Amino acid sequence: MTESTNSRPDSGADLRHPGELEAVAGGSAVAVAGADGDRVRSVTGDAWRELRRKPLFWVSAVIIVVFVVMAVAPGLFTSVDPREAVLSEASKTPDGQNIFGRDRQGYDIYSRCIYGARASILVGLLAVIGTVIIGTLLGLVAGYRGGLIDSVLGRVAEVFFALPLLLGAVIILYTIQGEDDGYFTIVLQVSLVLVVLGWPNIFRLLRSSVLQVKPNDYVQAARALGASPTRISFSHILPNAIGPVIVVSTINLGVYISSEAALSFLGIGLRPPTVSWGVMISQATDSMRSAPHTLLFPALFLSLAVLGFIMLGDAVRDALDPKSKSR
């Protein structure tokens, strides 16, 4: 018997599985057939599985977790008040009672290293959050819309990008800081200055990533289905363009922590009575030769924290882009 023409598939119909169509429109997942049915394997899930196999990730994660706990709950590591000075023991070398010794004001160095993590990490965290929010939003708009908006935002970003980070921070902070500013005011001032000077880096990175993602089929499919520009930008483009921003922002957290230390060392960032690694290094310069331990330990804590975030950024980069390991 001749097969009925009604049972023949239309040559113009899309015979792909609905899960595959969803993957094309969403762009963030790929349908994979299995014995138990279709399952969605996300790019993020693949990156996480790759990340968990890297010793570099676990080493950096342990370092960062220790410093974060140190910043949030310093009382778990020491019961000594970091602002309690014993002048009779000024510049005391490490011993059983004071494992890191005391500085020239008589403060316990170990206690101040522990409590110093809070201000230093807080500045870095606020700076990263600010740069990511501003740079991501503006980069997404510039990359997706293009035209005049892209040109104007690009010129504005170039103005800020041309100013060196530390030099620009010194100039701005010298202008806005007052003698009576409190702890939170100073922390916010330093963080905002780093945001103002750091967002162009994220802007340019995300804009470039958006330009690579925008021509993809799933973006065009979403546009053909009538999705709004906002939905396309945040649901289809941003999740697939944000990878490089995550990597750079992780590394930038370490950069901003070291920038805070440099500004405090120059006397224009955080300042006493605020306790931070940069303030400790600044105060230790006068006694560096006679009491090198006053500089050694805060510098060691600072270096380990910065190294931890840089190592984490490298591990995340390799997980998101395995090809980068062979470059």
Rounded to whole angstroms, the Cα distance separating 275 from 288 reads 19
Pick from 245, 132, 247: which is nearest to 191 by CA? Answer: 132
Q: In terms of CATH architecture, what is 59-326?
A: Orthogonal Bundle (1.10)
Contact by Cβ (8 Å): 243, 324: no
Pick from 139, 177, 146, 186: which is nearest to 161 by CA? Answer: 139
pLDDT confidence of 285, banded at 50, 70, 90? confident
Average pLDDT of the chain to the nearest whole number: 82
pLDDT at res. 42: 52
- For the record, the structure tokens of 207 come out as 């804009």
Alpha helices in 73-182 (DSSP H): 109-145, 147-161, 165-176
Q: Is the pLDDT of residue 326 over 60?
A: no
- For the record, the structure tokens of 67 come out as 């410093």
Residues in the chain: 327
**What percent of the chain clears pLDDT 70, i.e. is strictly above it?**
83
Residue 76 CB-half CA count within 13 A: 8
Q: Is the pLDDT of residue 19 over 60?
A: no
- Lowest-pLDDT range, 13-27, 89-103, 262-276, 308-322? 13-27
Q: Which amino acid is at 8?
A: R
Rounded to whole angstroms, the Cα distance separating 169 from 156 reads 18
Q: How many other C-beta atoms are found inside a 10 Å radius of the C-beta of residue 156?
A: 14
Give the three-class secondary structure for 205: helix
Q: Give phi and psi for 289, each to the nearest 5.
A: -80, -40
pLDDT confidence of 74, banded at 50, 70, 90? very high
Q: Is the pLDDT of residue 250 over 50?
A: yes
What is the per-residue burial (b if ≥16 Cβ within 10 Å, else e) of 114-126? bbbbbbbbbbbbb
Note the pTM of the prediction, 2 decimals. Answer: 0.81
- Name the one residue in this structure whose structure tokens are 């224009």: 268
DSSP symbols for 34-84: -TT--EEEEHHHHHHHHHHT-HHHHHHHHHHHHHHHHHH-GGGT--S-TT-
Q: How far apart, in Å, do the first and last CA atoms of the chain sit?
A: 62
- Cα–Cα–Cα angle for 280, 281, 285, rounded to 5 degrees: 115
Each domain of the chain, given as residue ranges in start order, spans 14-53, 59-326
pLDDT confidence of 325, banded at 50, 70, 90? low
> Who has greater pLDDT, 146 or 152?
152
- The 10s digit of each residue's pLDDT in 116-133 is 999 999 999 999 999 999
Determine the average pLDDT of the residues in 304-325: 83
Contact by Cβ (8 Å): 149, 142: yes
**Element spanning 31, H or E:** strand 29-32
**Element spanning 252, H or E:** helix 243-265
